[in-house]
Structure 1
């Protein structure tokens, strides 16, 4: 193991981690791209209800289009997770299990939330016009009987996802600031 990896708590600047100790480039790219998209999409969903109706429609199209993109990128990310090189697991057993549980739930809700939003929009009778250009096929069509259930799933999953994000970000702070280990550099 290199000195930068053994430095542990003394590490203060970004160490150079050799490839076996970092996630694959595709994993890192997808992680940060999806994070950026969610950090744009989530607030748009909240803001929509507070803006004028003509502006809200534009916000809504952007929110839904970005969410649909997140859905497809998450499906790619699942495939990537199954095939990409992973760094060896580090840390105490309970930390690894907690990280695994939070990551699994993040993956699940990053699929459930955009899927339920897409289906809810369809069920309310509004097919997705992706970024205002491409009309996406509606798998369920107008279905008022399930529209509000799908909307509730979408809203609840958004709040659950926010809680998971806070846990995930808290763990990043814990590892980077308190433990001062190289965990963050594995995904950077």
Structure 2
């Protein structure tokens, strides 16, 4: 199936798909929080924040894995496409670290320390800080929508390469 293509390291592939799955859980949870009934709102926050915290740590692991095992070279494509792909990947890495970090800090700044799945209280590095809480919340909100845009660009690129170009780009991550 994969022929002679160079694939991402196994750890990179596993982390990629775990983060993708979690983002597909965390993003919708975050979007609907404002629309759910009050009696379940705290459960939605708990799940959104807890899964988001996992995304943060998985992304930090992805950075470490990427430094240890650099990605394979691109399949043959024009330089502009390579630059776009690299820009989207870097954007996703940055956004997927900034997003959960800003959410975690915003929650802390609003005076609600994280209780990971209601099991473990996570140390609050900033504590209640009403002056910066709104700023962190805006960063979290804007970064969330940025991730959606970057995800669409990434997924569009995957479809383009797999369906139209019929090259082995997708196979590098499977």
Shorter-chain TM-score range: over 0.9
Match of 2:11 among 26, 40, 50: 26
Q: Which residue of 1 aligns with 2:122?
A: 136
Using a 3 Å threshold, how does the CA distance of structure 1 residues 17 and 86 change in structure 2: closer, same or farther? farther
In 2, the alpha carbon distance for the partners of 1:144 and 1:88 equals 46
Offset at residue 176 of structure 1 (A): 0.6
Q: Which has the larger radius of gyration?
A: 1
* C-alpha contact 1:17 1:185 (8 A) present in aligned 2: no
In 1, the alpha carbon distance for the partners of 2:111 and 2:118 equals 16
Offset at residue 156 of structure 1 (A): 0.3
* CA RMSD across the alignment: 1.0
For 1:142-171, what per-residue CA distance to the aligned partner results, in whole angstroms no more than 9, with x for missing partners? 000000110000000000110000000100
* Corresponding position: 1:60 with 2:45: yes
* Corresponding position: 1:109 with 2:66: no
In 1, the alpha carbon distance for the partners of 2:3 and 2:11 equals 16
**Runs in 1 of length 4+ with deviation above 6 angstroms?**
none
Q: Which residue of 2 aligns with 1:100?
A: 86
* C-alpha contact 1:17 1:186 (8 A) present in aligned 2: no
* Corresponding position: 1:125 with 2:102: no
In 1, the alpha carbon distance for the partners of 2:52 and 2:65 equals 19
Q: Which residue of 2 aligns with 1:7?
A: none
Match of 1:151 among 132, 137, 142: 137
TM-score, normalization: structure 2? Answer: 0.96
Offset at residue 95 of structure 1 (A): 1.1
Q: Which runs of 5+ in 1 are unaligned?
A: 1-14
Offset at residue 85 of structure 1 (A): 4.8
In 2, the alpha carbon distance for the partners of 1:71 and 1:172 equals 24
For 1:92-117, what per-residue CA distance to the aligned partner results, in whole angstroms no more than 9, with x for missing partners? 21111111000000000000010000
In 2, the alpha carbon distance for the partners of 1:82 and 1:147 equals 33
Match of 2:31 among 46, 57, 60: 46
In 2, the alpha carbon distance for the partners of 1:86 and 1:150 equals 32
